[in-house]
Structure 1
Amino acid sequence: MKGENALGDFLKARRGRVRPDESGAPSFGRRRVPGLRRDELARLAGVSQHYLTRLEQGKDRNPSPQVLNALANALRLDRDERAHLTALATTAPPPGVGHTAVSDAVRQLVDSWSQTPAYVRDRRFDVLAANKLAMALSPLYTPGRNLVRGMFLDPAVRTLFPDWTEIAAQSAAALRAEADPRDPATAALISSLLADSLFREVWAGYDVRPTRDEVKRFNHEVVGPLTLRRETLAVAGAEGQVIIAYQAAPGTPAAQALARLL
């Protein structure tokens, strides 16, 4: 990961993903590069090509909010991608990963959900706490483990998720959206993961997608298939910490399967 020029790398990657016909930029003759050329993006965003070159090369790291908004419009960024672009352009010190310890109250809350797998993670996707049912659902949710590392490097995780390829890509996109590349531990995590060819391919796509509430499918080695809904709850007063809980609709085969894990 080129954390020292994260803004420039992001701009170049996203420029390569916008087709001229999507952006309204006129296209003449054969194109040597995919997506928009630098001069085309500069023209669409209303900035000089020289200035855009400086941004992409990391020679200028302080674009104004107006420039960021114009670039986001030209690159057709969605809300999450815009937020990520703004975060990359900030000169404020990195926020870190939040509190490394889970409060007793949050730990007791998670442990009290005897029929709901739940764990607490930070913005670097390190698991900080988990109840017994979460760890029974998967060792991936054991405190001390990193979710993204496990997703890509643990063979057992590939069999746990029928949609593993898609979920692995989502985990990388969530890490990009939520973690701060200026945090040394985050940079070290990403650097180590780049040794994995699939992570390297996915990471190069520069997708940005925070963790969302959605349905996920599991294929547990003991109780078989489960379909659970993931809920994401921010921990008040603990920057970067979230509770991830998986729920099964009452009376469903998934709820009966979870009961067998108790």
Structure 2
Amino acid sequence: MGTPLGDFVRAKRDSIQPASLGLPDHGRRRSPGLRRSDLATRAGISVEYLTRIEQGRDRNPSIAVVNALADALGLDAAERDHLRYLTKISGGECVAHTRPAPPSRHVRPSVLRTLRLLEPGIALVTNRMGDVLAHTGAFEAVTRGTGLLDSDTPNLTRYVFTDPRARSFFADWDDVADERAFDLWLGPSLDSHEWFTAELAPAAGPELTRRLNRHVVPRRGDLRLRHPSGPELRLVRETLELSADAQQLLVLLPADEATAEAVHELSRPSHGGLRAIS
């Protein structure tokens, strides 16, 4: 049985063309990308050891080996962080309980007061699972008619993968789907990850499974939304980590004047203001 660490190393190795590293192309091969022997040489480890890591038979590589693999694969800063995180959970430092539980949906009063100060802006409190825990009236306005907030416990990840309307609402659905899948690896805990993926996987199908196993670190650019009433919104995302709560405060700022005007129109009259979802 493999591990997230082994899957990530193998996926990155398969995605690298030897010529990009100045290595000769040895002709036809059974699998794409960089040969295992080439990566092992670049990382200064044996092919046998690299094979054990990729196959999940070695779950505790040293920090030196992890850094050497990151260098050999040419990982950027975000990918290096992900590699270290996968090393941690693959090594068993985060052990799931027998009956994993969903993450808490509680939002601290001070966070709710902060969110209130952001009215009439577009903002929400969420976690890595995608639970929408609280939001401003403007967030409700720009998502009205999309189905995102229809549930008593709305969840961005479930919406992206299971609601057909999401593909129309998110102009760059593929990128958003990659982001949602990647964030599942980041918590808020391994327990929550196992609980949520077990619940979501049957409904989401291969779209989720494939993206989880690819371990693609997303490039988070502007968020483009196609509102059902017509306007396309382009929003800059600013994320504030609430690390003590394993939550995030996400603020969406109009990227241009047309978006600002459209948001203003969608928000008139305001419906309900700030809402916390218990």
- Considering the TM-score relative to the shorter chain, is it more than 0.5? yes
Asked whether the 8 Å contact 2:102–2:195 carries over to 1, the reply is: no
Counterpart pick for 1:149 among 153, 158, 167: 158
Please show how residues 49-198 of structure 1 align to structure 2 within 5 Å: 49-90=47-88, 91=91, 92-93=93-94, 100-138=105-143, 139-140=147-148, 144-176=153-185, 178-179=186-187, 183-191=190-198, 192-193=200-201, 195-198=204-207
Larger mean CA deviation between 121-130 and 40-49 belongs to 121-130
1:97 Cα shift? Answer: 8.6
Q: Secondary structure at the match of 1:77?
A: coil
Three-state SS of the structure 1 residue aligned to 2:236 is strand
1:241 aligned onto 2:242: no
Summarize the alignment of residues 10-21 of structure 1 with structure 2, pairs less than 5 Å apart.
10-21=8-19
Q: Find the aligned partners of 1:37 and 1:124 in 2 and give their Cα distance.
A: 35
* Residue ranges of structure 1 left out of the alignment (5+ in a row): none
Residue 237 (structure 2) aligns with: 230
Q: What amino acid is the match of 1:148?
A: T
- The residue number in structure 2 matching 1:218 is 225
- SS where residue 30 of structure 1 aligns? coil
Q: CA deviation at 1:246?
A: 1.1
Q: Deviation string for 1:82-107 (max 9, x for gaps)?
A: 11111111243369997641101111
| Offset, 1:242 | 0.8
Q: Could you say if the C-alpha distance between residues 137 and 49 of structure 1 is closer, same or farther in structure 2, counting changes exceeding 3 Å?
A: same
| CA deviation after TM superposition for structure 1 residue 33, in Å | 0.9
CA distance in 1, matches of 2:27, 2:173: 41
The answer on whether the counterparts of 1:125 and 1:146 sit within 8 Å (CA) in structure 2 is: yes
Residue 120 of structure 2 contacts residue 137 of structure 2 at CA under 8 Å; is this kept in 1? no
* Alpha carbons 1:234, 1:241 under 8 Å: kept: yes
Higher relative contact order (CA 8 A, sep 6+): 2
Secondary structure in structure 2 of the residue aligned to 1:237: helix
The alignment's C-alpha RMSD in Å is: 2.8
Q: Is the 8 A contact 2:103 2:192 kept in 1?
A: no
CA distance in 2, matches of 1:117, 1:35: 43
Cα distance in structure 2, aligned partners of 1:94 and 1:102 = 26
| 1:255 aligned partner | 260
The amino acid that maps onto 1:109 is T
Deviations 1:173-205 (A, max 9, x none): 3444x337x713312433433752333343343
- Normalised by the length of structure 1, the TM-score is 0.84
Question: Gaps (5+ residues) in structure 2?
Answer: 271-278
